[in-house]
Amino acid sequence: MEITYKNKELRLKGKTGVLYSRPNGFLIESSDGSSKKELFGAGEYEVSGISVIGIKNGDSVIFVYEVDGIRICNLEFVTTKLSDSKVSSVGDIDVLLVPESAESIEMMQQIESYYVLPINFSSEDSLNKFLTESGLVVERMPKLSLKKDELIEDSAAQIVILGTSN
């Protein structure tokens, strides 16, 4: 699976399809481009081998994607700490997507993952403040390529900054 983030668009490319994250929804396209489906809001979906669970959280939705066996939790539009029941609903996560905010630090502690990807950050200054407060190792790269069998269970979480800040 390959994750890219450019011009505020998140793209998750798996073997059977591609997921594009959008505000309160997402678009899934088959790898061969023969079909695509746009979905919104809470619910459970599976399209082109990609599964998505949308969990209502107040006025926002927590999205959990599974692509090529890798579980990604998107908290991009979540602005408050999660309840224990929401954390339980999310389950085990490999990659956590968060906005750069003080609440994100708390959510990162609630939902442990191998990788944390800050998205939708407003400026380099606010991103740098977030990175300093997180206390995690930071790496910048154009894309993140992952395989489920290559994730090392006891490895410490790290933050990955993808693409550019525009």
Q: Report the CATH number that the domain containing residue 113 is assigned in CATH.
A: 3.60.15.10
* Confidence bin at 9 (pLDDT 50/70/90): confident
Neighbours of 48 (CB within 10 A): 20
Give the 3-state secondary structure of residue 2: strand
**Distance between CA 77 and CA 62 in Å, rounded?**
8
Q: What's the token pair of residue 142?
A: 């154009």
* Confidence bin at 124 (pLDDT 50/70/90): confident
* Confidence bin at 15 (pLDDT 50/70/90): very high
Domain encompassing residue 149: 2-162
pTM equals 0.90
Sign, CA torsion 10/46/147/14: negative
- Tell me how many domains the chain contains: 1
